[in-house]
Amino acid sequence: MRRWLALALLCGCAASEPPASSWIMQASALSDRADDALNRRDLAFAQQELEQMLLLVEKTPDVAERRTLLEDTYYRLARVELLRGRPTDAVAAANEGLKMGRERDLFTANLLIARGGAYEALGQASAAVADYHDALLVNEGLLRQALGEP
């Protein structure tokens, strides 16, 4: 739940509705259940909760909020698919998230890392290295930004 509340605050969406009735609280509950399922290795239930989150988040009117939350959800779905031993489906989930746009942010880096892991599992070393490299560049830029470097 902390993850979703932090995202809500970063996106500025928490102030738009009272917290108790906000869609973000519904997304937080789905996220928590998905995390709990992952911790129990109940991958089918985790995937179900994440797919419900996609339906909820896709209705979000704010484009920036929707992009951020969809990217995070697709990243998590890609991880579930990898854990299920389905790297082709993991690539597809990561690609769906990357369709939202490749910004220089944590969400894009996570999607690239997940897709890189899927390519690695598929034996596609060149594609995996390319994604890992791109994620590294994004993370390096984020680190420089955090340190106040140009």
User: Given a cut of 60, is residue 19 above it in pLDDT?
Assistant: no
pLDDT score of 5: 38
Q: Which residue, chain included where needed, has tokens 């490749």?
A: 102
Structure tokens at 122: 């598929």
pLDDT score of 150: 76
**Quick one: pLDDT band at residue 3, thresholds 50, 70, 90?**
low
Specify the number of domains making up the chain.
Answer: 1
Structure tokens at 90: 């993991």
Owning domain of residue 129:
2-147
CA dihedral angle for residue 109, residue 11, residue 96, residue 108, rounded to 10 degrees: -10
Structure tokens at 1: 């739940």
Whole-number Å distance between alpha carbons of 19 and 14: 7
CATH number of the domain at 60, please.
1.25.40.10
DSSP characters over 35-72: HHHHHTT-HHHHHHHHHHHHHHHTT-S-HHHHHHHHHH
Ramachandran assignment for 103, one of left (phi > 0), alpha (psi -120 to 50 degrees), beta (any other)? beta
pLDDT tens for 87-124 read 999 999 999 999 988 889 999 999 999 999 999 999 99
Whole-number Å distance between alpha carbons of 27 and 66: 12
Whole-number Å distance between alpha carbons of 31 and 130: 30
